[in-house]
């Protein structure tokens, strides 16, 4: 150790190793006491954004002689105040969150001795939550991904784990809510982690992570949308106005596009021509499309399919069109109350129209007049029609029923309407002192029978008539004096 150099004056070393000076002369001693470090005083906690005065002092330095030189080193924003004391220095520090954990050094240099001593501390800055972020584990992936946007799309059925992080000191209390803060949000997790095992459309919406801290709170929100491949409804078809109308709907996220396949042809978009027209529209996740086919585009065994497509998949469904020309049942006729009643039925796709032909005349629709009445109705592929004829019957009448649709026509006729009466008799015999005669007739329209007894208008007789279907019979039964000859002539 170097020997001390002592000038005029007195130097005293205190028992605890600190050096005090008396006199006016400089004393230069290299002793272990001068290796002590300065003290840095911080009055209270350091809060971000709030200036704080820090003091570096060396209470063991001599107040007489050359003043020590103080210097500060820090990455923080600082300003050095005026020197007010021989053995201390005051620094104004304005902490920032990024200053947390950085070093602050105070160095003291003693010019008289050439000795420098210093102390370094680590800053403990208190600051509110900042730089909030959401990290995700999606599906079967084990890789953590930091979300760079405020929205996320996930495939339906996948598992989603959301992890919220926030930079603060001390650590903030993290939790998740469904919705936005202050808008009747629903708590869904009391920790920084939110688990959604099987995501479906019910989980779509906004999720918010909240960070609560004594110096303030902050939140970050995520808009979650669920994507899925098309779900197809249809197609369904019906015959309308002599054409085929088909509809098809699909729900998907994002909304799907719909197109039709007609045989080997592809139909999509909104357009029409002489044989078909297509109309499509989208609302939210739904897309609807309708296809109208007229007669020129129809044929038996035609395969029609509707196809829905988005970036997550394709789904299609087909119908086999079996349009057929009318199949006719009838006509059938019967006599009712002196009128001829005929009925006719037809089945076809599309449903047929029915009309009647009476000789050269055409009767169709629903109407009635003095000679006939027509009633027609349709239900599904069936059309039924009835015809009542009141007068106008002749032996050569030709009656036909005709069924027609866009695919063809079929007709059938009823012949030999009506026929004239065919007479059986009369035949007579004497019974019990009276003459008994019988007469029968057959015709499509049941005939009436009556007797004429010459000029014997005063004769006593009794007539009994009955009808059964197309046969009529009268039985006159005279009473009174016997007559050998009973002249009979008939008008039938």
- Evaluated on CA atoms 196, 197, 203, 205, the torsion sign reads positive
Contact 388/339 with Cβ under 8 angstroms?
A: yes
pLDDT at 76: 81
CA geometry: angle at 415 spanning 414 and 418, to 5°? 105
**477: phi then psi, degrees, rounded to nearest 5:** -130, 90
Per-residue pLDDT in tens (0 to 9) along the chain, 492 residues: 343 333 333 333 333 334 444 433 444 444 445 568 999 999 999 999 999 999 999 988 877 778 899 999 988 877 876 776 778 999 999 999 999 999 999 999 988 888 899 999 999 999 999 999 999 988 777 777 888 888 999 999 999 999 999 999 999 999 999 988 877 889 999 999 999 999 988 899 999 999 999 999 999 999 999 999 999 998 988 777 667 888 999 999 899 999 998 877 787 777 777 778 899 999 989 999 998 887 655 666 678 899 999 999 999 998 876 666 788 888 888 877 777 888 999 988 777 888 988 877 788 778 788 778 899 988 888 899 998 887 666 666 778 899 988 777 888 887 655 555 678 878 888 887 777 888 887 766 667 777 777 665 444 566 666 666 544 444 444 433 333 333 343 333
| DSSP conformational letter for 296 | G
Contact 434/479 with Cβ under 8 angstroms?
A: yes
Tell me the C-alpha distance between 222 and 205, whole Å. Answer: 8
pLDDT at 295: 64
**368: phi then psi, degrees, rounded to nearest 5:** -150, 145
pLDDT at 252: 92
Name the β-bridge partners of 348.
none
pLDDT at 97: 93
pLDDT at 325: 75
pLDDT at 479: 38
pLDDT at 395: 61
Q: pTM of this prediction?
A: 0.55
CA geometry: angle at 81 spanning 79 and 87, to 5°? 125
Of 9, 10, 98, the closest CA to residue 46 belongs to: 98
Tell me the C-alpha distance between 209 and 218, whole Å. Answer: 9
pLDDT at 487: 39
- Evaluated on CA atoms 53, 54, 60, 66, the torsion sign reads negative
End-to-end CA distance of the chain: 170
pLDDT at 90: 92
421: left (phi over 0), alpha (psi -120 to 50) or beta: beta
């Amino acid at each position: 150790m170097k020997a001390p150099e002592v000038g005029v004056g007195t130097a005293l070393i205190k028992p605890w190793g600190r050096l005090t000076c008396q006199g006016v002369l400089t004393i230069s001693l290299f002793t272990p006491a001068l290796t002590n470090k300065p003290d840095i005083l911080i009055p209270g906690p350091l809060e971000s954004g709030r200036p704080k005065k820090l003091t570096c002092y060396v209470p063991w330095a001599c107040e007489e002689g050359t003043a020590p030189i103080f210097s500060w080193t820090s990455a923080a924003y600082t300003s050095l105040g005026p020197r007010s004391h021989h053995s201390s220095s005051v620094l104004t520090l304005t902490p920032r969150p990024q200053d947390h954990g950085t070093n602050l050094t105070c160095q003291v240099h003693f010019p008289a001795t050439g000795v420098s001593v210093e102390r370094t501390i680590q800053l403990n800055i208190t600051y509110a939550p900042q730089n909030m972020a959401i990290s995700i584990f999606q599906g079967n992936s084990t890789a953590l991904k930091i979300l760079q946007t405020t929205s996320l799309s996930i495939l339906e059925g996948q598992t989603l784990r959301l992890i919220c992080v926030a930079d603060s000191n001390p650590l903030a209390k993290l939790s998740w809510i469904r919705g936005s803060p202050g808008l009747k949000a629903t708590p869904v997790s009391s920790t920084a982690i939110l688990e959604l095992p099987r995501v479906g459309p019910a989980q779509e919406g906004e999720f918010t992570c909240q960070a609560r801290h004594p110096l303030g709170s902050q939140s970050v929100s995520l808009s979650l949308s669920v994507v899925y491949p098309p779900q197809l409804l249809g197609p369904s078809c019906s015959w309308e106005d002599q054409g085929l109308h088909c509809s098809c709907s699909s729900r998907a996220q994002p909304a799907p596009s719909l197109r039709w396949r007609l045989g080997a042809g592809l139909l999509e978009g909104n357009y029409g021509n002489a044989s078909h027209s297509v109309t499509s529209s989208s609302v939210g996740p739904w897309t609807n499309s309708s296809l109208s086919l007229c007669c020129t585009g129809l044929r038996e065994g035609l395969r029609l399919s509707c196809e829905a497509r988005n970036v997550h998949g394709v789904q299609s469904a087909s119908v086999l069109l079996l349009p057929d020309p009318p199949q006719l049942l009838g006509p059938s006729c019967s006599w009712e109350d002196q009128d001829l009643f005929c009925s006719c039925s037809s089945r076809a796709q599309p449903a047929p129209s029915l009309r009647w032909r009476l000789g050269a005349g055409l009767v169709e629709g629903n109407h009635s007049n003095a000679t006939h009445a027509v009633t027609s109705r349709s239900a599904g592929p069936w059309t039924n029609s009835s015809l009542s004829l009141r007068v106008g019957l002749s032996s050569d009448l030709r009656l036909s029923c005709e069924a027609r649709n866009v695919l063809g026509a079929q007709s059938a006729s009823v012949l030999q309407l009506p026929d004239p009466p065919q007479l059986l008799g009369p035949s007579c015999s004497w019974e019990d002192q009276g003459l008994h005669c019988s007469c029968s007739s057959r015709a499509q329209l049941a005939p009436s029978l009556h007797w004429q007894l010459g000029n014997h208008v005063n004769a006593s007789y009794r007539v009994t008539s009955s009808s059964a279907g197309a046969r009529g019979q009268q039985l006159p039964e005279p009473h009174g004096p016997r007559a050998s000859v009973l002249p009979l002539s008939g008008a039938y």
